[in-house]
Amino acid sequence: MKARKNHISRKLFLQQLSIGIGALGTGIFFPGSLSAAEFLSGKTNNPRKVLVIGAGLAGLGAAWELKKAGHDVTVLEARNRSGGRVSTLRKPFSEGLYAEEGAAAYGATYTVAKNLIEEFGLETMPYPMPEKTVYHLNGKRITYSPGEQVVWPYELNEKEQGMDPMALVKMYIIDTLPQEVGEPDLWKKEPVVNLDHQSLEEYLIKQGASEGAIKLIRNTQWFAAVPGETSALSTGVSDFGLFMMGGVPFILKGGNDKLPQIMADKMKDNIEYGVEVAQVKDNGRGVVVRDKNGKEYTADEAIVAVPLKVTQKIAFEPQLSAAKRSALENMPVMHLTRTFLKVDNPYWLEEGLSGAAHTDLAVGQVNPYFHSQDPQNNPAVLEGYVAGPKAESLARLPEEEVIKEIKTQMEKVYPGIEDHFQKGHVKAWSTDPYALGGPSWPAPGDVTAYLEDLQSSHGRIHFAGEHTSVLRSTMEGALRSGMRAAQKIAVT
């Protein structure tokens, strides 16, 4: 068993994490290192012509590595922008105000992302950590600052009394997970692989958590949105591992999509936008990709780096194996609906509140966004972040009905919103035709049942995306998956 690393600012980090930094379902942090063998080094002696389908982080990561190594790369992207589910929202708001409708933050120990951010000279900022948060749970509204004593509206056992949600997470998860979860490559070995046979909820019960404590964790922690349908292995490796020792997360100045933007700008001559791929064929000599309009592209190899459910919509020839089709069809995704309410000013600051909240209401988790300069005298945004079945239900409604419902629920959390409301915006990832849902979210048994098949190549066709990584739902997992696919081509 390996010793834990990075014993830095544990108390501070746990306090900050307890405020709820994980907004993408996006489960967005992992500190494990990337093997040097997964990076391409030097120029290739066997340049290949490669088609990369998808300009999200997985596709861009693969294309960047291959291009640097001297391969002829063309990226085909269905959208008119790069980034995929790393998406910064700007247009509905005033100049200088933006919100993240996709991935919320970068982990301090995202080794691949940090290497790229440093390579491109992007400016980072610490993730903003609100000090006074609102909780609306079981019909009760509570304002809370870390360290305060609160009587939570759930029936807790004796040892849980007086503990805040993150203290419960520490006691039942952080302090009990095997240390090997910090090494992603060990997921197939005991004791980590054993975690896949139980849900997060079952794991919590096994550690002694009461029903009330599980409800409190579920309604305050992004990774526990559906604890009974979440693989304890995925939680342990993707959401924890060494993450709790890894340091404070950060964001990119100007928006988190600055990373995929600059990668795409550096490869602008290699990317074609507005190309919706319908078929990928391995003809025995190379690959032929056909878009929905019948246009064909040819290459030696292809990397399919689109989201899980979008991959299902592509026709492959020859047909994918039964095991791979089963993996694509049965691996679950987390549904996310994010509603952004622009207000004329951050009126909650007058009460010393941060704008952040955790609730069991239809509004979900509340995230605030301010102007970076002079926030009190400029418009702001309150986001209702809803994950799981509730998000799927909201996604079926017209946008105006979603905004109305979220405003009604937001009034219970931050009263007065109707007096300040200006406009709203809804991002339902389930109805986005180029996403068809949020990130992959393995249920118990799904990692061991499907991950290796999701990763496997199909002749000259390779696959990338966070769903092909044990680091599910993370930007780091997406980037590493692209590196893995690039490596497969480099060694052919």
Q: Where a domain ends, among 189, 210, 245?
A: 245
| Residue 288 and residue 407 share a domain | yes
pLDDT given for residue 7 in this prediction? 33
The answer as to whether 275 is a domain residue is: yes
Structure tokens at 258: 């600055």
The answer as to whether 1 is a domain residue is: no
Q: Where a domain ends, among 245, 277, 303?
A: 245
What SS3 state is found at 472?
Answer: coil
At residue 32, does pLDDT exceed 50?
Answer: no
Residue with tokens 């509570």: 142
The helix (run of H) or strand (run of E) holding residue 99 is: strand 99-100
pLDDT given for residue 29 in this prediction? 33
pLDDT given for residue 238 in this prediction? 87
Are β-strands 277-282 and 287-291 bridged in parallel, bridged antiparallel, or unpaired?
Answer: antiparallel
Please give the tally of structural domains in the chain: 2
pLDDT digits over 360-381, tens only?
999 999 999 988 778 888 999 9
Angle between helices 111-119 and 258-266 (to 10 degrees): 60
At residue 12, does pLDDT exceed 60?
Answer: no
CA distance 212 to 218: 10
pLDDT given for residue 196 in this prediction? 98
Among the listed residues 443, 470, 438, 439, the one whose alpha carbon sits nearest the alpha carbon of residue 454: 470
| Residue 143 and residue 92 share a domain | yes
At residue 22, does pLDDT exceed 70?
Answer: no
| Residue 23 and residue 99 share a domain | no
Structure tokens at 1: 């068993």
Average pLDDT over residues 289-312: 98
Which residues partner with 75 through β-bridges? 52, 271
Q: Which residues contact 190 (CB under 8 A, 6 or more apart)?
A: none
Whole-Å CA distances, 79 to 84, 236, 274, 328:
8, 33, 5, 22
pLDDT digits over 445-473, tens only?
999 999 999 999 999 999 999 999 999 99
- DSSP readout, 257-304? THHHHHHHHHTGGGEEES--EEEEEE-SSSEEEEETTS-EEEESEEEE
Handedness of CA 450, 454, 460, 461 (dihedral sign): positive
pLDDT given for residue 130 in this prediction? 78
The answer as to whether 91 is a domain residue is: yes
At residue 312, does pLDDT exceed 80?
Answer: yes
| Residue 78 and residue 131 share a domain | yes
Are β-strands 357-359 and 133-137 bridged in parallel, bridged antiparallel, or unpaired?
Answer: parallel
Q: pLDDT confidence of 239, banded at 50, 70, 90? A: confident
Helix, strand, coil abundance in the chain, percent, nearest 5: 35, 20, 45
pLDDT given for residue 39 in this prediction? 57
Among the listed residues 357, 406, 404, 355, the one whose alpha carbon sits nearest the alpha carbon of residue 381: 355
225 near 387, Cβ under 8 Å? yes
CA distance 304 to 297: 14
| Residue 415 and residue 369 share a domain | yes
Of 8-12, 61-65, 164-168, 230-234, the one with minimum mean pLDDT is 8-12
CA distance 196 to 442: 9
Q: Where a domain ends, among 223, 245, 267?
A: 245
Report the CATH number that the domain containing residue 330 is assigned in CATH.
3.50.50.60
| Residue 338 and residue 284 share a domain | yes
Average pLDDT, the chain: 90
Structure tokens at 29: 């942090």
Express as a percent the part of the chain with pLDDT over 90.
78
The 8-class DSSP code of residue 92 comes to T
Among the listed residues 131, 472, 144, the one whose alpha carbon sits nearest the alpha carbon of residue 308: 472
Residue with tokens 């019960």: 205
Domain, as residue range, for 186: 10-32+151-245
- Strands, DSSP E only, in 283-404? 287-291, 296-299, 301-304, 315-317, 336-343, 357-359, 365-369, 380-387
At residue 170, does pLDDT exceed 80?
Answer: yes
Of 8-12, 339-343, 345-349, the one with minimum mean pLDDT is 8-12
Average pLDDT over residues 315-330: 98
Report the CATH number that the domain containing residue 177 is assigned in CATH.
1.10.405.10
CA distance 468 to 456: 9
pLDDT given for residue 41 in this prediction? 61
CA distance 177 to 243: 12
pLDDT given for residue 492 in this prediction? 62
| Residue 227 and residue 99 share a domain | no
